Structures are given as C-alpha cells and as structure tokens.
Amino acid sequence: MNRIGWLLAALVMAALVPAVLGGSELLPRLRSFPPGLLLVLFGMIVLCWTLNAMRLRLLLGSQGEKIGRLRSLGVIMATEFAICSTPGGSGGPLTLMALLSHDRVRPAHSGAVFAMDQLNDLLFFLFAVLGIIVYTLFHSFNRSLEGLLISSAVLMLATLGLGLVLVRWRRGVMRFNGRLLKRMKVSPLTRRRWARRLLQFFRAFRATLRLPRRVLALVFGLTCLHWALRYSVLYLVLIGLGGNLQWITSFLVQVLSLSAGQVSLLPGGAGAAELTSATLLTPMVGKSTAAAAVLVWRVVTYYFYLVAGGPVFLWLLGRPLLERITR
C-alpha cells in the first residue's frame, strides 16, 4: 500500500506542475488541441510497443520464435508498466525475467536480453546527441541548451565505457565482488550462488552479442525507429497547439527531462520530468503553450503506459499467481 501511495502522490504532483504553470489559460489551450491528432499519438505508442516486441523476439534468438506476437506484445506492455510505476524503472528487468520464465527462458538469458536492449537504447541516444552537437556547429541553436547537451554526451560516453569495462574485465569484477561480499560477512554458500548467477549472466550476454550481425543490425534499426517515433510526440503536440519549435530542440528537451526524471528516482520521473520540460519550454513557446504541451505529452507517453499496461501486467503476472493459490 505504501508503494501505491507513493505512486499516487507522484501522479498528483506531476499533474500539478502544468496546472499551476498554465493557470486559467490551460483549459482553453487543451480544448483547442485536435482530437484526431491525439488518436494518432496514441497509435504511435502502440506502434512503439509492437516494434519493441519484435526486438524482444529477435534478441531471444531461437527461443523468441516460440513466443507469439501477442504474447511478446503483452510482455512489453507489462514491462513498460513496471518501469513507469517503480522508482528509477527498477521493476522493469524483474518483470521481464518473471514473465519470460513462464516461457522457459532462464533468468540469466532474459537479464542479458534486457541489458542488450538497454545497450541499443544507449547507443541510439549517444549517436543522436553527437549528431545534434555536430548540427550546432553549423546552425544557430539555443545557447542555454548547449551546456546540457555536452553534459549529456559525456554522461552517456561514461556509462558506455563503464559497461565495456564490466564486460571486458568481468573476471576482475567477479573477484572484487567476492572480496566485497566476504568483508560484509556474507556466507560462502551465498557468495558462490551470487558468483554463479553473475557468471551465467555474462555468458548469456556474450551469447547475445554473438547473434548474427544481420539480426543485431535489425534490432538497432528497430531501436532507432522506436525512439524516433516516441520522441516525435512532443514535436507533434506543439504543432497541434500552434507552437513553433524545431524537432531537434523538442528531442533534446525530452532527453533532458526524462534524464532528470530518472535521477529523481520517482516512479516514471513523475514531477521531475514535467518540471524540467516546462522550465525548458516556457522561454521558447510561452507559459500556456508549454503547460498544455507538457500535459498532453505526458498523458501520451506516461499515463497511457499506466492505464493500458496495468491490466496487462495484472493479467500476465496476477493470473498465474491466482491459479497457483487456487490449486
């Protein structure tokens, strides 16, 4: 119940940010938004889920062929719900491993698939941010965003470097982990169990990296298409509200806002993402337009994930638990 209370508090706080910023002008701005465009935006999110389901089946290799399209779509929706409803998205990998275990996928394998999926996301954002930096060298750009842009690129490079170090020197990492657990007076049996799990994860991740290059290239292509669609939502919302903003600028606003949401460790970054995006957009498009755009953007890319993914999460994870109890 405490976790549900925290989630509800985060949702209320997230809704208050655009409400306070927009004031009495918020409702008239929302009424002017085209309903047809809103349906298109929801359709884009459904397409994003479909692309992610394709990525999941490709990364699972031969085991992915045994998981149907509808089942993989449900797994993605439930996992996205867990990411949006837990601090820092911590429930995402646990949900994915729990769901794939019903399809006889080992936790080490599903964990490696999740890590590979995150690596593809990181590479996409790194290339996108580096591309924007090159773009700013030849075009006029918002000066206030340049420093944040460079900081994001440095952070992504550091994260990628840390991941490469962990994979390249995994044996040293395992020895360090063992010595650390020993100093913490963890029993030898538990240390061996953790070492075995970590070794299984590294082996599964290396096996995922050895998938055919054609498959890995297709996965990255689907990753690029997914994020291009997802990060076009705010741009289209601003067009629907009559705002004038470059796609690159709207993309960068979303990157910075969602990064702030991750750092806040609130469920789905609720509150922090709204506050950051509203702060960045207000000088560019005005207070009322920024408030309405942030609200519609988060309805499509956050609240819709909770409303649509929640029942799927309960059905896929709640039904097996209920069957086990009744037996």
Domain count of the fold of the chain: 1
User: Which has more pLDDT, 137 or 242?
Assistant: 242
Read off the pLDDT of each residue in 161-182 and give the average, rounded to a whole number: 71
Determine, yes or no, domain membership for 112: yes
pLDDT mean across residues, the chain: 82
Look at residue 290 and tell me if it is in a domain: yes
Across residues 1-23, what is the average pLDDT? Answer: 68
pLDDT for residue 41: 95
Is the pLDDT higher at 154 or at 2? 154
- CA dist 151 and 324 (Å) reads 49
pLDDT digits (tens, 9 = 90+) for 203-229: 888 888 888 999 999 999 999 999 999
Would 170 be classed as within a structural domain? no
293 pLDDT higher than 60: yes
pLDDT at 23 over 80: no
In a domain, 78, yes or no: yes
For residue 112, give both structure tokens.
């490696």
- For residue 316, the Cα-to-chain-centroid distance in whole angstroms is 20
Q: Is 67 a residue whose pLDDT tops 60?
A: yes
Per-residue pLDDT at 325: 46
pLDDT, tens digit, 9 for 90 and up, residues 230-250: 999 999 999 998 888 888 888
The confidence score (pLDDT) of residue 7 equals 65
Q: Is the pLDDT of residue 79 over 60?
A: yes
Q: What pLDDT shows up at residue 249?
A: 85
Could you tell me the residue range of the domain that residue 282 belongs to?
2-162+212-326
Three-state DSSP at 267 gives strand
For residue 58, the tally of other CB atoms under 10 A from its CB is: 19
| pLDDT above 60: residue 60 | yes
Whether the per-residue pLDDT at 267 is higher than 50: the answer is yes
Q: Is residue 322 part of a domain?
A: yes
Global pTM? 0.86
Higher per-residue pLDDT: 310 or 22? 310
Confirm whether 169 is domain-assigned: no
pLDDT higher at 37 or 139: 37
- pLDDT for 1: 46
Percent of the chain with pLDDT over 90: 25
Report pLDDT for 286.
83
If residue 179 lies in a helix (H) or strand (E), which one and from where to where?
A: helix 170-183
Residue 230 belongs to a domain = yes
pLDDT above 70: residue 201 = yes
Q: Is the pLDDT of residue 321 over 60?
A: no
**Residue scoring higher pLDDT (12 or 312):** 312
Amino acid 327: pLDDT: 52
Residue 312 lies in a domain: yes
pLDDT band at 320 (very low <50, low <70, confident <90, very high): low
Helices marked H in the chain = 2-22, 26-31, 35-59, 69-85, 91-101, 107-138, 143-168, 170-183, 188-209, 213-230, 233-240, 247-264, 272-285, 287-298, 304-313, 319-326
Across the range 274-299, mean pLDDT stands at 87
Task: State the number of CA atoms in the 13 A half-sphere of 258 facing the CB.
Answer: 18
